[in-house]
Amino acid sequence: MNFKQLVTQIKKQLSLIAIVWVLMPLAVNAQTAPIPVGPVPNARQIEWYHREIIAFFHFGMNTFANVNEGDGTASPQLFNPTALDCNQWTSVLKGAGITTAILVAKHADGFCNWPTAHTNYSVKNSPWKNGKGDVVREFTDACKASGIKAAIYLGPHDRHDSRYGTPDYSDYYAGQLSELLRNYGPIWEIWWDGAGADQITTSFYDRWADTVRKLQPNCVVFGTKNSYRYADSRWMGNESGLSGDPCWSTINPVSIREEAAHITQLNHGEVDGSAYVPAEVDVSIRPSWFYHQEEDAHVKSVAGLWDLYFNSVGHNSVLLLNFPPDKRGLVSSIDSVRAAGLHNLINGTFKKDLAAGAVITSLHPRGGVYKPGNMVDDNEKTYYATNDNAATDTITFNLGKKKTFDVIMLQEVIELGHRTTGWSVDYSSNGKDWIPIPEATSKQSIGYKWLIKFKPVTASRVRLRVTSGKACLAIHTFGIYKQPSLL
């Protein structure tokens, strides 16, 4: 090797050393993503969670018979709304910030809100629009025009049809399901009520679920009892709008199938459940599901709706809020104003995270792109994670100055499964002494979203202590907020 060759070889080696020197910090800091733990959500469930609030519209024969549970004998001649306007319904939802709505196409009384070919007990034999009307069509058209996702409740129980519970009824229901899923555009959710439907066996749902998946593959299924195999979301055990604490998205399927014996499990979920089926929290803005004029004085207040929001969306669930149109076919202005008040309160509270810009330190950072600051960066795609060996952590937020707040939000990365199983939040006004927030002490589940409200505290530092978990942390959001006045 001559002198020039030796110089060239040395230069190559120096260049290689330089490249290694530059890349070494990146290699040290580069981290793979945490591995999912336990059951995880499918794409339908992830999209469902981000809706947060769904509207329910109970409207049909029961509205005109002034009952909540019709026996299926009321004459179709009763059904005659004088001013039905589904665009008015969707305008109420726009004012309330609600982006998805479910219409009761057929309740347990059997009356059908569309001109189905499979029974005469429908709008086609009513005086409304001389039998040419179609509530489902007007509803889905209004949803499409306003950018709201349309969904359908098609009650499995039927008190009108004598074939109920027989194989012939399975054919009847399958035909109606096919009509609704073929002829009205995208249907975002199908709601299979378990009330009174004990005679509908799992084999019926096997067939009907196959219809759903073939015709509307992206449709969310609300499943109960014998439809448990196909449930994307579950009943949470009451109709009061109250999810449990904790409330896990995971549950054992037997708890859905045998709901009467497993109300606690439906309400709280099961931390080690084998299926990922989160809770959909159904409640009416009024005492009843169908409209009754005497209940105009009993519409839930904005403060009451605010509590429901924290006990549903704020308990790792989705709120299904019922708005029953009246005999005119319109949603009451009282209901509209209350729902808009809730929307204003949500926006007013969460428009500003008081933890944004905080200096954040943690005991067990994963490194790389999974930095603690991701919890306050308002970016849907980033999150904080600990190293694989750390299922616990202490994360301190230095706010820079004293701030007053009365709401806490936590969000996990649900795509990675339930990970945290114990956590608490403390605050400090002097940077040394830590005071626990009682409402945020010894908590368990997080999931998509966990919200806590409490009497206002003033602090310059806030501390999240994760005390137990199934695996390393994966926290999407930690936020502190101040509620505006309810007045």
Q: How far apart are CA 398 and CA 417, in angstroms?
A: 29
* Confidence check: pLDDT of 309 > 50: yes
Q: What is the pLDDT of residue 9?
A: 59
Fold classification of 43-350 is TIM Barrel (3.20.20)
State the average pLDDT over residues 193-197: 94
Residue reference for tokens 């330089």: 18
Least confident of 24-38, 216-230, 398-412: 24-38
Residue 324 in contact with residue 271, Cβ under 8 Å? no
Residues above pLDDT 90, as percent of the chain: 92
Q: How far apart are CA 424 and CA 444, in angstroms?
A: 9
* pLDDT band (50, 70, 90) for residue 178: very high
* pLDDT band (50, 70, 90) for residue 15: very low
Each domain of the chain, given as residue ranges in start order, spans 43-350, 359-481
* pLDDT band (50, 70, 90) for residue 12: low
Q: What is the pLDDT of residue 196?
A: 92
Q: What is the pLDDT of residue 485?
A: 82
> Of the candidates 148, 224, 238, which has an alpha carbon nearest to the alpha carbon of residue 186?
148
Q: What is the pLDDT of residue 256?
A: 98
* pLDDT band (50, 70, 90) for residue 16: very low
Pairing label, strands 220-223, 189-191:
parallel
User: Which tokens sit at 295?
Assistant: 């209940």
Domain 359-481 matching CATH 1.20.1540.10: the answer reads no
* Confidence check: pLDDT of 29 > 90: no
* Confidence check: pLDDT of 6 > 80: no
Residues above pLDDT 70, as percent of the chain: 93
> Of the candidates 163, 174, 161, 233, which has an alpha carbon nearest to the alpha carbon of residue 204?
174
* Confidence check: pLDDT of 21 > 80: no
* Confidence check: pLDDT of 362 > 80: yes
* pLDDT band (50, 70, 90) for residue 431: confident
* Confidence check: pLDDT of 65 > 60: yes
User: Which tokens sit at 210?
Assistant: 């196959």
Q: What is the pLDDT of residue 31?
A: 77
pTM score, whole prediction? 0.93
- Fold matches, 43-350 and 359-481: no
Q: What is the pLDDT of residue 211?
A: 98
Which residues, at least 6 apart from 343, have a Cβ–Cβ distance to it below 8 Å?
A: 95, 96, 97, 98
pLDDT digits (tens, 9 = 90+) for 259-308: 999 999 999 999 999 999 999 999 999 999 999 999 999 999 999 999 99
Q: What is the pLDDT of residue 2?
A: 55
pLDDT digits (tens, 9 = 90+) for 115-156: 999 999 999 999 999 999 999 999 999 999 999 999 999 999
